[in-house]
Amino acid sequence: MARIHLHLLSDSTGETLEMIAKAALAQFDEADVQRHFWPMVRSKQHIDRIVPDIAGSPGLVLFTLVNPDTRARLEEHCLTLGLPAVPVLDAVTEALEAHLGQEAHGRPGRQHSMDAAYFARVEAIQYTIAHDDGIGHEDWEEADILLAGVSRSSKTPTSIYLANRGYKVANIPLVVESPPPRALFTLRRPLVVGLTTAPDRLIQIRRNRLLTIADGQESDYVDADRVAAEVRFARRLFADNDWPVIDVTRRSIEETAAAIIRLLGERDAREALPERMGPV
């Protein structure tokens, strides 16, 4: 298979462009792609310095450049070299301009500006780290989401992912011999979500975990009957409290997080409905 060169040019950190390229490449099997990454490209002079490298490894050029002079220079060079140059955000930006009835500002890296949302995200990450693994139940009412599940049901990585999206998340491991604190059953603000998984998958994950521990000896932690009992205990607790449940057996962290965000949105919409309807 011939190697394809993919040149990514951004006038900011390039994080958005990288994610778009990664998502698109995931649609192709065994694509042999050599990526060339060029962030913080904000002048025609910078474009001129990059072009010899592009010419040396000709391929597809993807860019997110909002300055008209800079992007025009890149497009001129690509036209001369006979290379396709794709402005990956143009279609979305144009659609939003038409829908909103206003022109885009064209500010490089604007999505990374340190606005209120940025600081809220930082606060969410700090809260989530401080309330991992059942810690700080006195402050659970401040959370947006609380995840409950047996050990190794992906609570922590899902919490961190959601925190990076701006949600304050606490999580608690469910242990048969150790009842959860009463605070778990009196929460009003957070959405409590139960995470569950197939026992055989859970045993596999736990065995991999044990391999990282010094002695690595198996115990009740991976005993089939014991694990099955843990999962039943958690599912019964979820059902008794009418908490939504997500089976993470075949879900990625991103898919689990997306399902949780959808549940939160649906709950908030239900709670806001009487207010929108007004008094009856």
47-60 pLDDT, tens digit per residue, is 999 999 999 999 99
Quote the CA–CA distance of 9 and 46 in Å, as a whole number: 11
Quote the CA–CA distance of 206 and 172 in Å, as a whole number: 17
**Where among 77, 111, 145 does a domain terminate?**
111
- Provide the pLDDT confidence category of residue 149 given band limits of 50, 70 and 90: very high
- Provide the pLDDT confidence category of residue 280 given band limits of 50, 70 and 90: very low
157-178 pLDDT, tens digit per residue, is 999 989 988 899 999 999 999 9
CATH code of residue 89: 3.40.50.2300
Tokens of 48: 């001129």
226-259 pLDDT, tens digit per residue, is 999 999 999 999 999 999 999 999 998 989 999 9
Number of separate domains in the chain = 2
Q: What is the pLDDT of residue 116?
A: 67
pTM above 0.85, yes or no: no
Write out the residue range of the structural domain in which residue 102 sits. 4-111
Whether residue 250 sits in one domain with residue 123: yes
155 known ligand binder = yes
156 known ligand binder = yes
Whether residue 261 sits in one domain with residue 152: yes
252 known ligand binder = no
In degrees and rounded to multiples of 5, residue 190 shows phi and psi of: -70, 150
Whether residue 129 sits in one domain with residue 97: no
153 known ligand binder = yes
CATH code of residue 238: 3.40.50
Whether residue 241 sits in one domain with residue 151: yes
User: Cα–chain-centroid distance for residue 205?
Assistant: 22
Whether residue 128 sits in one domain with residue 266: yes
Quote the CA–CA distance of 264 and 256 in Å, as a whole number: 12
149 known ligand binder = yes
Report whether 195 contacts 154 (CB < 8 A). yes
